[in-house]
């Protein structure tokens, strides 16, 4: 059990340092096998993990990984959570002007809406669109951490199309379009951050390739 846990910690440590410190990871794996023979694999693995975390702060790929997690956990997933709650309580057809935040989030009470007999059938479509946006945000966060930029681009296009469709529906139903301002600003900030992240990752890959194929590299 201890050896299995130690191996997991070693895999995490090597994954943390990335490709630029692959030689260090291979060397630590060799020493890890020796630590198993000495009966101290767990302490060695913990030391490697601590060292890997320290190196992440000084390595471009490590800083990129930390920034990716910060973007996913700090912006994209909270946005998905807000959209999910909004879809449950009735965004974008909820009448915010007649209640406070506590009243809006009171799931058991009837809340005033902007719907009438003529457009009430659109409620399910609006809620579905918001749920789809929330789900797309979760998938975007997953793809960013996986560094699958093709999937990120496809999901970003879907998000833009779904947001535009939602705006058109809100306008056609005669709702106040300003209620879409905050989601739009959040998606714009998310898109800009992703563009910066993609550019940063491209620069890291280019520098790594130049280092690996440099004839003077040893």
Model pLDDT, residue 116: 57
Mean pLDDT: which of 36-40, 55-59, 115-119 is highest? 36-40
Closest to 166 (Cα-Cα) out of 143, 182, 150: 182
| Confidence category of residue 106, pLDDT binned at 50, 70, 90 | very low
Domain that holds residue 43: 2-58
- Residues with Cβ within 8 Å of residue 5, at least 6 apart in sequence: 42, 45
Mean pLDDT of 85-112: 56
* Contact indicator for 136, 158 with CB cutoff of 8 Å: yes
Q: Is the pLDDT of residue 69 over 90?
A: no
* Residues 104-129: b if buried by 16+ CB within 10 A, e if exposed: beeeeeebeebbeeebeeeeeebbeb
Mean pLDDT of 16-28: 74
Q: For the chain, how many structural domains are there in total?
A: 2
pTM of the model: 0.68
Select from 58, 82, 99 the last residue of a domain. 58
Model pLDDT, residue 144: 92
| Confidence category of residue 92, pLDDT binned at 50, 70, 90 | low
| Confidence category of residue 100, pLDDT binned at 50, 70, 90 | very low
Same domain, 170 and 83: yes
Same domain, 43 and 145: no
Same domain, 70 and 164: yes
Same domain, 20 and 80: no
Same domain, 107 and 182: yes
Same domain, 39 and 119: no
The rounded mean pLDDT for the chain is 77
Burial class (CB in 10 A: 0-12, 13-18, 19+), 161: exposed
Residue 95 CA to residue 114 CA, distance in Å, equals 6
Closest to 138 (Cα-Cα) out of 152, 157, 153: 152
Q: Is the pLDDT of residue 157 over 60?
A: yes
Identify whether 7 is part of a domain: yes
Same domain, 67 and 53: no
Per-residue pLDDT tens over the stretch 159-208: 999 888 888 877 777 766 666 777 788 888 889 999 999 998 888 877 66
Select from 24, 42, 58 the last residue of a domain. 58
Same domain, 144 and 167: yes
Same domain, 52 and 135: no
Mean pLDDT of 1-14: 82
């Amino acid at each position: 059990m201890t050896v299995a846990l130690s191996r997991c910690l070693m895999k995490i440590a090597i994954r943390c340092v990335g490709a630029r410190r692959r030689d260090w990871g291979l060397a630590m794996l060799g020493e890890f096998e020796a630590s198993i023979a000495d009966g101290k694999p767990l302490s060695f693995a913990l030391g490697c993990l601590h060292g890997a975390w320290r190196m992440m702060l000084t390595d471009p790929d490590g800083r990129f990984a930390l920034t990716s997690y910060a973007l996913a956990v700090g912006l994209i997933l909270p946005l998905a959570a807000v959209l999910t709650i909004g879809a449950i309580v009735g965004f974008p057809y909820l009448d915010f002007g007649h209640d406070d935040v506590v009243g809006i989030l009171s799931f058991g009470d009837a809340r005033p809406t902007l719907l009438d007999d003529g457009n009430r059938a659109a409620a399910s479509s609006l809620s579905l669109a918001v749920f789809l946006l929330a789900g797309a945000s979760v998938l975007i966060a997953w793809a960013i951490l996986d560094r699958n930029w093709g999937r990120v681009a496809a999901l970003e296009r879907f998000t833009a199309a779904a947001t535009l469709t939602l705006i058109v529906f809100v306008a056609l139903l005669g709702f106040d379009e300003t209620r879409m301002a905050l989601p739009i600003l959040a998606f714009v900030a998310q898109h800009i951050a992703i563009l910066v992240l993609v550019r940063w990752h491209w620069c890291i890959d280019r520098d790594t390739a130049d280092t690996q194929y440099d004839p003077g590299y040893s």
